[in-house]
Amino acid sequence: MLSLAITVFVIVCMWMIFEKLGIEGWKCLIPFYNAYVLFKKIYSTPAFFVNLVASLVMIGSTFTLAVTAFVSLAGHADILGTFREVTVGGILIPVILTVISIIVHLVIEVMLNIRLSQVFGKSGAYAVGLIFLTPIFLGILAFDSNCQPVDLQPADTPADGPYDS
C-alpha cells in the first residue's frame, strides 16, 4: 500500500515538473515517451536512445536468463522429456549483458538527475538528493512555487559564448 502511495506521489510530482518545463503533464504517464520528451527538453545529446537500448537489452537478457534457468531445471527434473545441457556461455553472456545494461541505465539516470537539478538552478548536493531520495526531492521541485526552470539551454552549448548571433 505504501509503495502504491509513493508511486502515485511520484507521478503527480513528475506531472507538475513536466508542466513547469512547458511540457504537457500527461506525457509523463507514457513509458519510454516520457523519458524521450524529458531528455529532448533538457538535453541535446542522444542519451535517451542509449538508455532505451540499455533497457531493452536488460529486459531481453533477463528473459533469456529466466528461460535458461527454466530449461536447466526442467532438464534436471526430466519435465521436458529430454536432458538439455546448459553451457557456461549460455548463462554468462546474458548475465554480462544484464550487468552492463544496468550500469549504463544507472549512469544515464544519474546524468538526468544532475541536469534536472541544474535546470531548476539547484546545486550538486540537490542532484545527490534526487538520486538517493527521489520522491522527496521531486516533491520539492514540483510543489515549491519558487522553484522554476532557470536554465533550459542544452547542456553541451555555452550560455553566452562568442558565437551567439
Three cell numbers written together for 133: 531520495
Sequence-ordered alpha helix ranges (H) in 21-87: 33-42, 47-77
Residue pLDDT, tens place only, 94-145: 777 777 777 877 887 888 889 899 999 998 899 999 999 999 999 999 998 8
Average pLDDT, the chain: 77
Q: What is the pTM of this model?
A: 0.69
Provide the sign of the torsion angle of the four alpha carbons 72, 76, 82, 84, taken in this order. Answer: positive
